[in-house]
Amino acid sequence: MSNEVRPIRTQADYEESLAEVGRLWGSKTGTPDGDRLDVLVTLIDQYETEHFPIDIPDPIDAIEFRMQQQGLTRKDLESLIGTRSRVAEVLNRRRSLSVRMIRSLHDGLGIPAEILIRPSLPAAKINSSNRGQKRGTRPRHSPRRADHA
């Protein structure tokens, strides 16, 4: 470990910086170690932003995640989105969010508007991998066993 703080350019630089942050963690602000910690954390944040970007979630996934976090049901969304059928259409990806819905969901659930304004994935893409796997149903054309007749 040198006293010189350098840009983080490689994975090895990144790992070395993480180890040093672990060593410096808890240093008091305004001390040489505290200042070094602040600079390293800033450099690590920049490196992670460039090398490990996080995709913005799909709007419907974000709504469902917030519902799960807050223990909400579809009924709870009616005051934010509209009627029961409108909530179902939105969550089943058959209807896009309107500007009014986006504002309401942003204000009511705290979901960032930049997530809600993105187009959601079509239901066909989401369900194409789950085709024929409805819960509680027997696959079409499945033979009945003779001993159950």
Query: What pTM does this model have?
Result: 0.55
Residue 90 forms part of a structural domain:
yes
Residue 23 forms part of a structural domain:
yes
Q: What is the pLDDT of residue 98?
A: 95
User: How far is the C-alpha of 5 from the C-alpha of 142, rounded, in Å?
Assistant: 67
In terms of residue numbers, what domain contains 64?
A: 59-122
Q: What is the pLDDT of residue 126?
A: 58
User: How far is the C-alpha of 122 from the C-alpha of 133, rounded, in Å?
Assistant: 18
Residue 146 forms part of a structural domain:
no
Residue 129 forms part of a structural domain:
no
| Same domain membership, residue 78 and residue 44 | no
| Same domain membership, residue 64 and residue 47 | no
Q: Digits of tens for pLDDT over the chain (149 positions)?
A: 457 889 999 999 999 999 999 999 999 999 999 999 999 999 999 999 999 988 888 999 999 999 999 999 999 999 999 999 999 999 999 999 999 999 999 999 999 999 999 988 776 565 554 444 444 444 444 444 444 44
| Same domain membership, residue 116 and residue 63 | yes
| Same domain membership, residue 107 and residue 69 | yes
Do 113 and 102 meet the contact criterion of CB atoms below 8 Å apart?
A: yes
| Same domain membership, residue 66 and residue 110 | yes
**How many folded domains does the chain comprise?**
2
| Same domain membership, residue 107 and residue 66 | yes
CATH of the domain at 92: 1.10.260.40
